[in-house]
Structure 1
Amino acid sequence: MIIGMIEVREDGHVALFFLEGEHQGMGVEGELFRRGIAAARIINPSISKATVRSSPNAVPIYERLGFRRLEGLEGEGSIPSIPMVLDLG
């Protein structure tokens, strides 16, 4: 049974991040994110930051993972997104 998935591009951009509702808030998000970054670093070991264009309702989840908001609200079509970044050090 699949409870979640993540796609992290080789430049560190989180293109897709989904976790079934009943599994949220149990630490699965963090583990899934860490594994996604680790997989991206196999292709590109120099990744120094992760980026995401978050939906407004997902911002608190990304903030718990350590992301910070960048300026402005963006939108593709009618879907608003909030650019966020996480320095991976």
Structure 2
Amino acid sequence: YYDNFTQCTEHEANNASCFWPNPLAEDFITGIHKQFFSNCTSEKVHWEDPPDEILITLILIPVMLTCAMITLVVWCSKRSDTLV
């Protein structure tokens, strides 16, 4: 819709021998937005931290997986040294 509106206003500005964009067209577009979008309410999202139980779980799972992977890599590297 905006593309069609822009092309239309640009065409009309050229017909009137005006440069595009111009302050009159900008005021017109701003007025339309103020008129049609004045009643729009923007509900702001209120972000909250999760409960402590969930937060602790979300922190501990990656920590434990990292420790487990490090242990597995160290164990496998020591084990391959004894086989060779």
Q: TM-score, structure 1 length as denominator? A: 0.27
Question: Relative contact order: is structure 1 or structure 2 higher (C-alpha 8 Å, sep ≥ 6)?
Answer: 1
Higher share in strand:
1
Higher share in helix:
2
Q: TM-score, structure 2 length as denominator? A: 0.28
